[in-house]
Amino acid sequence: MRHLSTALAALYAGLIYLFIFLPVVVLVLFSFQDGSLPVPPLNGLTLRWYEAIFADGKLMAALGNSLLVAVISSAVACVLGFLAAYAFARYTLPASGLLRGLIVAPMTVSTLIIGLGLLSMLNISGLRLSLVTVGIGHVVINLPLCFAIIYASMGGHQVNIERAARDLGAKDWQVMLLVTAPMLLPSILAAFFLSVTFSWDEFIVAFLLSRFDVTLPVEIWSMLRSGLDPKTNAIGSIVFLISVAFLVVMEFTVFRKTGKSS
């Protein structure tokens, strides 16, 4: 009986992981397909699709754009989120609970709605669609997340440390830059890397708010319109690989750090 239930549990766990990872495995596997269709049967292994995407100027430009937008928009979201969290944690603001709720609220709104809203705002303001507008969109999406993560890590025990800094002559900006931000670095980095990974594969806002220069997900989408092709599998695998890389970096820089100093 015991053995049976252990076996069933293992089987169940195996199926769950299979369910989650099978699509990725299939995607990666058929990116090596020696043929022009990424569907079974697997005819043999080749690297030529990878060769093709690295030779594809448009695709590489989109990849560069994506990284640029992800890093810059995440940095901006982190700075804004940090400042907002600092204000809420250190000062008594009027209607502070309500205001905090409002900052976090966009997390529950679909990106489609946010994208459409931003699109009409940009139309009214006359700002032309570009990577900058995509970046603005990503800041809007990621700011609530960054705020929530950083705010959660600001506790009362840091108040005395900031007070000590002030007592020793630090001005407000010096306290924030030299004391508060470094103390919160683990959570700031966590917020940064999470929002980089979100921005990295965000499609809807990037699609709605870009025109000539596009990010990678948008470029892949236009590739897909011309039909399935192992090339899309190859670029998909690259996207996946970079996401994993971000996660690994985050794991090492953020969680190692918190584990050690606490």
Partner 1 sequence: MTADLSIRNATKVFGAFRALDDVSLDIAAGEFIVLLGPSGCGKTTLLSILGGFIEPTSGMISIGGRDMTHVSPAKRPTTTMFQDYALFPHMCLRDNVGFGLRMRGMGKAERFEKAFSYLDLVGLKASSAKKPHELSGGQRQRVALARALAVDPDVLLLDEPLGALDLKLRRQMQDELKAIQKRVGTTFVHVTHDQEEAMAIADRIVVMNKGRIEDVGTPASIYMRPRSLFSAGFMGEANFLPARVLGASGGEVEVETALGRVVLPASAFTSGHPVAGRAVTLCIRPEHFRSANADAPTVSLGRGRITGSAFFGTHHRCHVSADGTTLTAHLPQTDSPEVGAELDLRLKADSIVVLEDGAGV
Q: What is the DSSP annotation of 33-53?
A: BSSS-SSSS---B-SHHHHHH
Tell me the closest approach of the beta carbon of residue 90 to partner 1, in angstroms. Answer: 14
Q: x/- contact string, 177-206, with partner 1 (CB under 8 A)?
A: -xx--xx-x---------------------
Tell me the closest approach of the beta carbon of residue 170 to partner 1, in angstroms. Answer: 5
Q: How many residues bind partner 1 (CB under 8 A)?
A: 19
41 or 167: CB nearest partner 1: 167
Tell me the closest approach of the beta carbon of residue 146 to partner 1, in angstroms. Answer: 20
How is residue 109 written in tokens?
A: 């709104």
Are 146 and 184 in contact, with CB atoms under 8 Å apart?
no
Can residue 165 be called a binding residue for partner 1 (CB under 8 A)?
Answer: yes
Can residue 128 be called a binding residue for partner 1 (CB under 8 A)?
Answer: no
CA distance 199 to 190: 14
- Tell me the one-letter amino acid at 5: S
Contacts of 85 by beta carbon, 8 Å cutoff, 6+ apart? 147, 150, 151, 154
Can residue 169 be called a binding residue for partner 1 (CB under 8 A)?
Answer: yes
Of 260, 262, 120, 142, give the one whose Cα is nearest residue 197: 142
114 or 185: CB nearest partner 1: 185
How is residue 135 written in tokens?
A: 């970046």
Please confirm whether the linkage preceding 23 is cis (ω < 30° from 0). Answer: no
163 or 211: CB nearest partner 1: 163
Per CB under 8 A, residues contacting partner 1 are 157, 160-161, 163-171, 174, 178-179, 182-183, 185, 261
